[in-house]
Structure 1
């Protein structure tokens, strides 16, 4: 199966996990998804509200993946979802 198809299947599978992942895992899933679909985080995507702690955490997690290729992010996402499903 092609990586793009595996990624799309993993995205669908992530919504049907038997139990909700921890916040740390959810941040990993979010940041890998954003890196795979949009590439590096741009500063203008940062939350403007200083009290948006969730948005800030999500943006920071995504920013940490700067430079990671879309393909590598897709593969990491697929691997993480497979790990969570087992």
Structure 2
């Protein structure tokens, strides 16, 4: 496991253990970066208007399409480090 992978895993654990809600925009950004880092580009159809949460998550993930895995991990780690503890 590389240093980046270990740092990413530690950041994921820290985010999952957050007590304070960082807000919707931050959570969507973290979701998008996590999915890009672990699954690559978004695929499938965009959810319809009857699924606003799924649609927001899809749009957020699509916004980072093409970002390399390591860049997504670095961005996730950086964003997670800035969250209040």
* TM-score, normalized by the shorter chain, greater than 0.5: yes
Q: For residues 17 and 45 of structure 2, what CA distance do their matches in structure 1 show?
A: 28
Q: How many pairs does the alignment contain?
A: 84
Q: Any runs of at least 4 consecutive aligned residues in structure 1 with deviations exceeding 3 A, and if so which?
A: none
1:73 equivalent to 2:72? Answer yes
Provide TM-score, normalisation by structure 1.
0.89
**Structure 2 stretches lacking a partner, 5+ long:** none
C-alpha contact 1:18 1:85 (8 A) present in aligned 2: no
RMSD: 1.5
**Structure 1 stretches lacking a partner, 5+ long:** none
- TM-aligned CA distance change 1:71 to 1:45, over 3 Å: farther
